[in-house]
Amino acid sequence: MPGIEIQPLEDEHLAAAAALLADRHSRHRQAEALLPEFSDFRAQLQRDLDHEQAGGVVALSGDKVVAHLIGRVEEDPLLGDRRAIVDFAGCAAAEGQGETIRDLYAALAARWVAAGATRHLALIPASDEALMDPWLRLAFGVQYVWAVRETAAMKPVEAHVEIRAGKPDDLELVAQLDRSLYEHQAGPPSFSGLAIPSDEEFRADWSDLWDDPELYTHFVAERAGRPVGHLVLFRRPTGDLRVPNSNIDLSHAATLPAARRSGVSLALTGHALTWAHEHGFRSMTTDWRSVNLLSARHWPRRGFRPTYYRLYRALP
């Protein structure tokens, strides 16, 4: 861009980049009150920079920092290849400077591609259309959604289900429910490309769900004495620009295929929101793949509002 110089992000730029991020987050909090309150944005930048293989670039107009981009390259644990990620604090621009994001991406992505990462992800505030726009014109699209809503005492749902606490005996059910999510996401339009783990692997993944009740709370829905669905709440750590204080995360939910669309999740979600409200949690976060049509339609209708989008581009 004329009049703009792209340089590596150095310590001398951090204060100005933190100010850009503070502005971005303040706008974000005006759009969504259930985002964490912060004062130390430099620490948020440092958090993103502290990862192995992380680096950043800034756009300068004269000696003024008008935009920054920070990303890291990492191994993808699921697909077994390398990907590059711009994390929650990694992208901000001054008003009217969104276009410079495209130059910053060109500079940083060259390093990512040289490091073998050809799938690129950027976490951008869902309400920030000005910041989203340059990414859309870089061939990115929405892949994943993080969202939040208030907890509340909900009216019980008439769905002919009983909800009880989960227990270690439910391992087989939980493995089956997670398999049903994998199978659903392997199909169109998700085409996840993920190998579906064996029953043993599913059981191993979930075997510690009941070990620490301070970490996970598990609810199972039964109909006529048979389990038909479940929901897992997780005390997700705070400290990033997404998770507010006094929050609990809805980290897994699924209904057996034969029982879907009969109110099982409605009853479980209502129960979980009421439970969280009664236990002093002010908000509930969750997330979903935007190409999972079942969850992408279900959670917004349950009152969850998008906070961040994960934008995605696969080269070429």
Q: Given the rule CB under 6 A, which residues bind ligand COA?
A: 157-159, 180-181, 184, 229, 253-255, 260-266, 288, 292, 294-295, 297-298, 301
141 vs 156 by CB, closer to ligand COA: 156
What torsion, rounded to 10 degrees, do the Cα atoms 131, 137, 139, 144 define?
A: 30
Residues 119 and 262: beta-carbon distance below 8 Å? no
Please identify, using beta-carbon distances, which residue of 156 and 239 lies nearer to ligand COA.
156
Closer to ligand COA at the Cβ: 137 or 261? Answer: 261
CB of residue 281 vs ligand COA: minimum separation in angstroms? 19
Beta carbon nearer to ligand COA, 6 or 296 = 296
> Considering the complex, what minimum distance in angstroms separates the CB of residue 105 from ligand COA?
29
Q: C-beta of 135: minimal distance to ligand COA in Å?
A: 23
Minimum Å gap between C-beta 137 and ligand COA is 29
271 or 313: CB nearest ligand COA: 271
The nearest distance, CB 79 to ligand COA, in angstroms, is: 19
Instruction: Please state, in angstroms and rounded to a whole number, the distance separating the CA atoms of residues 180 and 14.
Output: 45
Shortest Å distance, C-beta 313 to ligand COA: 22
| Angle CA 203–234–300, to nearest 5 | 105
CB-based contacts of 288, cutoff 8 Å, min separation 6: 144, 145, 147, 295, 296, 299
Q: In angstroms, give the least distance from the CB of 235 to ligand COA.
A: 18
Whether 34 contacts 244, CB under 8 Å = yes
